[in-house]
Amino acid sequence: MFNFSGSEIVFLLLAGLVVLGPERLPGVIRQIGKLYGDIRRTTQGLEQELRSTFDEPLKDLKSTADSIRSGFGEVDAEPSPPMRPEKSEALTPEQLENLAGESESKSDG
């Protein structure tokens, strides 16, 4: 919670000793320690409660994201429809001749 280094703690103890005096300093340190322990226990309990509450929805969200992510990795082996004219198989010979005639007239003009 608080990231104090050793020198900072020593400085705070010396300042407390000067301000509070040697009689009151141990009692204040005990009270601060108890308060810190209570706050820490409360936050740990809250964290565990939040984790248990959101655990199942997060698992569902992760599985959905994984399924979407895996879908993007698939490659279609067949060419797309514009590269593979499927309608040409259903054309009659007369329609094919008409299409061939149209393409010849476009290339001439």
Tens-digit pLDDT profile for residues 25-84:
889 889 989 998 999 999 999 999 888 888 888 888 998 888 887 777 666 666 666 655
User: What is the predicted pLDDT for the residue at 109?
Assistant: 54
* Whole-angstrom distance, CA of residue 89 vs CA of residue 106: 23
Long-range contacts of 8-16 (CB under 8 A, 24+ apart): none
Does the pTM of the predicted model rise above 0.75?
Answer: no
Q: Say if residue 93's pLDDT is above 80.
A: no
Non-local CB neighbours of 36 within 8 Å, separated by 6+ positions: 1
Question: What amino acid is encoded at 85 in this protein?
Answer: P
* Whole-angstrom distance, CA of residue 68 vs CA of residue 77: 20
Question: What amino acid is encoded at 50 in this protein?
Answer: L
CA 103, distance to chain mean position in Å, is: 54
